[in-house]
A and B are shown apart, each in its own frame.
Chain A
């Protein structure tokens, strides 16, 4: 039996390794997008790939609609594109191609058209990049049908979910939070994360949540960086005698509903923490999925949600940290949940 080689890697290294190994395995896989070539992506999301595959890693013009439309066309014609949007905020420029074209072709063709493509984009705030470069927006992708939505929280998942995304014959939106990439130019949260990454290729199935930390008093559901924040909060809560379970859905589409519902059924309390907008988004969806199952779940307290509260993300550090959920917000919300009662 061969021993599995495992190294510690940063998120971006693990993500790139996933792409690289798929490009080695399958000559149909290409990368395209703004600055993905010689620069290796402004967030190093394609670092080193152009050197290995100069003909298959394509710098495009700054033309988001063109990139997304071309990814669709190329996917129908025998390639498997990984098309990068750089900042997820730029989906506003090209959402027509994503929502009306990429998300609908398989359905409207009765399954005759398959689109093996991955849309990648960076997400998240915390760096005073203000309203147009700090959003997460995973809820928008998950809201419209026809897109699988993958949002890893750690290097191990980053690689395994990327490999699954590239092998999938459907459109997959793969989002990486800038603050968990492990880049040397951005501050990070010192969370205990899963940064042990096997050197061999491995695929993590979609729709399987991960229990990051087991607990009995409250369930905290996070996504991407809020998983790390929840893990730090859970440690602090443990020191105060509160046992928090942290669940990372890892993929919003498909969503592992049973993992969330099962945890809430055990703990009786639910806090959903999201860096996306609070209104009509992931937090409300998960709260509703639990509320619809109250015939088999006995809650001990009302469901609580944390997210961006209906405002654009402000520039000043003094304001940004107010609207983006922080570890302190999570600790306070859980403490209020533990003391709250149902009417």
Chain B
């Protein structure tokens, strides 16, 4: 282990993390394929190589395969009333936080049964019941998590806000402002920075002044912890301590987690900026497969249980995708609704 942590997940927690990682992986792999339906010749307009807005999943698609461990290791510690604030690449955290998978899939397909009735799409998933939100602007969710944490502290309700983002977002001004406020006010907030080594196409060495994002915590009066391996148990230990600190009123923690981006920045990304063979070598040390092997070696899983959990994860995803495909598109008048809510507190 790269860092010394004492908090260990129970067998039950490890099984939950393992199965949830498979739900995430299945969801992302399924979307990766479905995304190209209707987008390629000969089904699209002549002279186009690719049609971004066509097919059942229109628009950009940022997939989080390879980053599952960070999400499950972190969310294993969160209660429903704790909140998660995500990014443009947030499916893994949404699933791990318990966002309704059917409605999430339907939103991605632009259907009226979706979380945002088809008005947000995959970068803007809001599930108030699961206390989850994400935004398509890099770094924008970080101060929002701080505001939620400020409210929890003022209300004294014991909840924790978790902000998840990439190493690229740690170069945004919002990161600095938010972490300063969280450190200043000792808010119940946890910052989980996932280092997948790329801000779209530019790698960390070319964009970031420090090798470890966790070292930046020193500037904000909070502990910085680095999880150097893409490993659910290690994330569990690091975030577990951070959440415990937050709940105890000791303030925020910045946790940096090494993750892998197995797909491009977006689907259809030619990835010319990646060294040859990088993705293949990342897949060889796939964190999900490695976790499966470890749980088997330690006797937590056997082949029969592996099949059962993988099948169950796949069935959940298949059902969600089917729900999305079968749902209706919103009627035209939906475009004019929900600019404002109609309620008042008076």
Q: With A and B bound together, what is the CA distance between A12 and B202 in angstroms?
A: 50
Given contacts A30-B154, A74-B150, contact A167 B143 (CB under 8 A): no
Q: Contact at A170–B181, with CB atoms within 8 Å? A: no
List residues of chain A with CB within 8 A of the CB of B240.
Answer: none
Pick from A68, A113, A146: contact of B126, CB below 8 A: A113
Q: Mark A111-126, 1 if CB is under 8 A from B, else 0.
A: 1111010000000000
- B 90-121 contacts with A by CB, 8 A: 114-121
Q: Is the CB of B341 within 8 A of A106?
A: yes
A104 to B338, CA, bound (A): 10
- The answer to the question of A77 belonging to the interface, with a C-beta cut-off of 8 Å to chain B, is yes
Chain A residues whose CB sits within 8 angstroms of the CB of B180 once the complex forms:
61, 63, 66
Contact residues in A for B150 (Cβ distance below 8 Å): 58, 70, 73-74, 79
**Smallest CB-CB separation from B117: which chain A residue?**
A110
- A80–B128 alpha-carbon span in the complex (Å): 17
Evaluate contact between B148 and A112: CB separation under 8 angstroms: no
Tell me the bound Cα distance from A148 to B177 in angstroms.
26
A71 to B214, CA, bound (A): 26
| B-contact 0/1 string along A51-93, CB 8 Å cutoff | 0000110101101011111111111111111000000000000
Known: A77-B148, A79-B151, A107-B338. 11 other contacts (CB 8 A): A58-B150, A66-B143, A68-B143, A69-B178, A72-B144, A76-B147, A79-B154, A104-B124, A109-B124, A112-B128, A113-B126
Complex CA gap A58/B144 in Å reads 16
Chain B contacts with A in 65-105, Cβ cutoff 8 A:
83, 85
Residues of A within 8 A of B345 (CB): 26, 28, 80, 116, 167, 169
Q: A310 CA to B26 CA in the complex, in Å?
A: 55
Tell me how far the C-beta of A85 lies from the nearest C-beta in chain B, rounded to whole angstroms. Answer: 14
B324 within 8 A of A: no
Residues in A with CB closer than 8 Å to B257 are: none
Which of these, B118, B133, B147, B343, contacts A105 with CB under 8 Å?
B133
A1-57, CB < 8 A from B? 26, 28, 30, 55-56
Are A96 and B181 in contact, CB atoms less than 8 angstroms apart? no
Q: In the complex, what's the smallest C-beta–C-beta distance from A112 to chain B, in angstroms?
A: 5
Contact B115 A112 (CB under 8 A): yes
User: Known interface pairs A30-B154, A69-B147, A76-B128. Does A114 touch B181 (Cβ–Cβ under 8 Å)?
Assistant: no
Are B338's CB and A110's CB within 8 A?
yes
From B116, B161, B181, contact of A61 by CB (8 A): B181
Expressed in whole angstroms, the minimum distance between the Cβ of B302 and any Cβ of chain A is 42
A141 to B174, CA, bound (A): 21
- Judged by a CB distance under 8 angstroms, whether B284 is at the interface is no
Contact indicator B339/A107 (Cβ below 8 Å): yes
B177 touches A66 (CB 8 A): yes
A168 on interface, CB distance cutoff 8 Å: yes
B149 within 8 A of A: yes
**A318 at interface (Cβ–Cβ under 8 A)?**
no
Query: Taking CB as reference atom, which chain A residue is nearest B173?
Result: A65
Question: What's the interface size class on B, roughly?
Answer: 35 or more
Distance to closest chain B CB from A30 (angstroms): 7
Q: Distance in Å from the Cβ of B209 to the closest Cβ of chain A?
A: 20
Cβ of A323 under 8 Å from chain B:
no
Which of B151, B157, B173, B184 gathers most chain A CB within 10 Å? B151
- What 1/0 flags go to A127-161 for Cβ under 8 Å of B? 00000000000000000011010000000000000
- With a cutoff of 8 Å between Cβ atoms, the chain A residues found around residue B36 in the complex are none
Residues of A within 8 A of B151 (CB): 73-74, 77-79
Interface hits, B140-168 → A, CB 8 Å: 140-152, 154-155, 157, 159, 161
Within the complex, the shortest CB–CB distance from B226 to chain A, in Å, comes to 25
Most central of A105, A106, A107, A109 by chain B CB within 10 Å: A109
B155 touches A108 (CB 8 A): no
Q: Is B276 an interface residue (CB 8 A)?
A: no
Contact B155 A105 (CB under 8 A): no
A residues near B (Cβ < 8 Å) are 26, 28, 30, 55-56, 58, 60-61, 63, 65-81, 96-97, 100-101, 104-114, 116, 145-146, 148, 167-170, 203
Q: Are A106 and B340 in contact (CB under 8 A)?
A: yes
Question: Which residue in chain A gives the minimum CB-CB distance to B85?
Answer: A73
Q: What is the bound-complex CA distance between A116 and B345, given in angstroms?
A: 9
Q: Are A105 and B148 in contact (CB under 8 A)?
A: no
Report the minimum CB–CB distance from B260 to chain A (whole Å).
29
Q: Which of A58, A70, A78, A100 contacts B155 (CB 8 A)?
A: A78
- A selection of 29 A-B contacts at a CB cut-off of 8 Å is A30-B154, A55-B154, A58-B150, A61-B177, A61-B184, A65-B174, A66-B174, A69-B141, A69-B144, A71-B147, A72-B147, A73-B146, A73-B147, A74-B150, A76-B83, A78-B155, A97-B140, A97-B143, A101-B135, A104-B124, A105-B133, A106-B339, A109-B116, A110-B120, A110-B337, A110-B338, A113-B128, A168-B344, A169-B341
B116 pairs with A112, CB closer than 8 A: yes
Given A66-B143, A77-B147, does the pair A111, B338 have CB atoms closer than 8 Å? Answer: yes
Please name all residues of chain B whose beta carbon is closer than 8 Å to the beta carbon of A75 when the two chains form the complex: 147
Return chain B residues, CB-CB under 8 Å to A167. 344-346
* Cβ contacts under 8 Å, B115 to chain A: 109-110, 112
Taking CB atoms, residues of chain A closer than 8 Å to B135 are 100-101
Q: How far is the CA of A108 from the CA of B180 in the complex (A)?
A: 29
Which one of A56, A63, A75 has the highest number of Cβ atoms from chain B below 10 Å of its Cβ?
Answer: A63
Tell whether A101 pairs with B137 under 8 Å between CB atoms, given A111-B337, A114-B343.
yes
Q: List chain B residues, Cβ under 8 A from A30.
A: 154
Provide the bound-state CA to CA distance between A228 and B345, in Å: 32
Instruction: Give the docked Cα–Cα distance between A76 and B345 (Å).
Output: 14
The chain A residue sitting closest to B147, CB to CB, is: A73
Question: Considering residues B117, B155, B345, which has the most beta carbons from chain A within 10 angstroms of its beta carbon?
Answer: B345
A residues less than 8 Å from B157 (CB atoms)? 78
Q: How far is the CA of A41 from the CA of B343 in the complex (A)?
A: 30
Chain A residue nearest to B123 in the complex (CB): A108
- Measured CB to CB, the closest approach of chain A to B100, in angstroms, equals 11
Contact A74/B148 with A61-B177, A61-B181 known, Cβ cut-off 8 Å: yes
Nearest Cβ on chain A to B127's Cβ, whole angstroms: 8
Expressed in whole angstroms, the Cα–Cα distance for A78 and B150 within the complex equals: 10
| Bound Cα distance from A65 to B141, whole angstroms | 11
